Chain A
């Protein structure tokens, strides 16, 4: 019997605005769905300061909700909470589901386009690891990336590209995932971005939601790699959104009319 956990999650995102909002929409990808080793026992998203307009399943089988902010609000709060059972499958997510074809995950995107730095990393791997099986190669790749790009908050932002983070030499989970996706695609392996939650050992309060990547192998299908933590996702990981890169899988994507600054506050608890 594989190790499994029951995780309770509460994720509150608050946007506050300097000036009342006249018209704004937010697209949410904040609802986990059942996948290999993951059972969603209970989940709900509640909006204060806006109303849910509709929901649909997108091209990557993400559950998407569209929220219209109330006229004249200066604050909107999105609270997602629920319970998810997760089984440790050593990162193996398995077969392709939905209509998005495998080749789509080989295509370069703006955030994952490979430049010189990623090109060199890939060339090195091709030379040194020619005899390795796919999974071992990917573990080496993951470790190499963490060696080249140290985990450090504040050096990059949500719009930093994979190549950009390589140049900076520092980054967060999003950057690590983008670099690994970019390199894997260069190696001819389909790769995708995953946003989700992670139960960090010994702490309930988390700084931010997490991100990692999945690479398609011929033998096992999709396998997750969390470069930042140097492991394959286990029973502490909840998958929420997937896509070709962050832009496809972003938990919240918004568009707002009018000026004025926006402030973001996130409160996230993950516990057993």
Chain B
């Protein structure tokens, strides 16, 4: 039993500004939740000054290895360090199993949906989703019609964004099946924690995340075209280059996987394949893990002005001679306009009810929903249908009168561009603040790998944390930080 009079604990409670939301460490009755028990015992004994020093060390370490992040719209600094918080976010084995089942179900359904939507479109014929959701949707890629990717896999890598609102209440916010980023933070955060707190890892049985690059490589290799040709398919990471905000991650993953890091000018079409320039001439590539968006991938097929893509790569792909991960056109599945239909999509392809919940969503394209949204704007979160990274979004409760009325005008002008959701009471997790432990809102992005016959979910993921007290926006582009995520063994 933990003493309620303990100073740090009392501090933490004092800082709990929203007693209604679920805290992952503390129950309302001053009890520490099971997964945090051992950590909390350790923390009580720890010297806070020493922890703060460690926290500063961690920042210096990140600076040294260069994990930085470009923040669009911030002129003063091209690159910024994503703040790292040294208190881990801890998930029990039982909780994780439930998440795993739900995520796997979701990713399998998305893959089946993509195959269907680019072939017979049975889901539209069956009347389970309206045709207008796909027709006229810019994320639908006509060039993918009739294309079956090597090994039948569309979503090699997914980053499913989850939030929690209660003991057993997890919601999926976004599916992220285009080119989800952030996995390098998951890996580096763990490295840092192992380095700083080795004693904690001997006390607590935390599942490892370090095999992710190997699993990624194996998973990609298993999706190579013509698997009889070679046991060792050549895998490369295609990056837009050093000016991209996630360049560090591209380089890091290529290095960790033992894959080549290439840019468009390193690649060309040769003998019907995509070939990479090496010191010994051009070498065939089997799998391209591209971190270049669809639109820029191939100037011959898509945007002719793109300097980041490889001309002809789509032709090679459509001839079945290279694997592109993720497949082009997957954006139709994580489109925000489709999101509200995910429970139907899951049921249609798996025959099961969705395990993970969807956030209730108003589609502003529908007149009734729009008028509801306009009336309740101050309580809602409004998102652009095609936006990402928290740009162009309105958080009603945090917005000023001026912001609200500006957004109202936008909604009236182009209602089809927006969806709205209630503001969820996101769970909180402690961070080490100036005055001790303080609760802050978090989300979770686990990383999911899909191979022809398996789905692998790394036990952990990227926990993003809103460092500002009371803030619900966790995006790193909006000043959020990250934490290490611990999934405990049974």
Contact = CB atoms under 8 A, between A and B. Distances in A.
Contacts, number: 77
Nearest to A253: B300
A101 B123 CA distance: 13
B269 A25 contact: yes
Given A25-B300, A99-B146, A54 B272 contact: yes
A102 B110 CA distance: 23
Contacts of A64: 315, 318
Interface string B275-289: 000000000000000
B316 A59 contact: no
Interface string B251-286: 000000000000000001111100000000000000
B143 A106 contact: no
B311 A101 contact: no
B131 interface: yes
Interface stretch (B48-56, B113-121, B198-206): B113-121
A103 B131 contact: yes
B479 interface: no
A255 interface: yes
B315 A66 contact: yes
A108 to B, nearest CB: 9
A104 B118 CA distance: 12
Interface string B124-153: 100000010001100000111111000000
Contact of A255 (B142, B271, B300): B300
Most buried by B among A54, A55, A99, A103: A54
Interface size class of B (residues with CB under 8 A): 20 to 34
A99 B120 contact: yes
A66 B269 contact: yes
B321 to A, nearest CB: 6
A244 B142 CA distance: 10
B135 A54 contact: no
B166 interface: no
B14 interface: no
Contacts of B271: 53
Nearest to A66: B315
Nearest to B268: A23
A253 B301 CA distance: 9
Given A25-B269, A59-B143, A68-B269, A54 B300 contact: no
A34 B155 CA distance: 35
B269 A56 contact: no
Interface in B283-308: 299-300, 304
Nearest to A25: B312
| Interface-centre pick from A56, A61, A68, A100 (highest chain B CB count, 10 A) | A56
Given A59-B145, A59-B146, A103-B135, A255 B299 contact: yes
Contacts of A99: 118-121, 145-146
Nearest to B147: A59
Contact of B270 (A59, A61, A68): A68
A56 B142 contact: no
Nearest to B312: A25
A13 interface: no
A227 B144 CA distance: 31
B269 A53 contact: yes
A54 B142 CA distance: 20
Interface string A28-59: 00000000000000000000000001111111
Contacts of A101: 121, 124, 135
A67 to B, nearest CB: 10
4 tightest A-B contacts by CB? A59-B145, A54-B319, A54-B272, A103-B135
Interface of B: 118-121, 124, 131, 135-136, 142-147, 268-272, 299-300, 304, 311-312, 315-316, 318-321
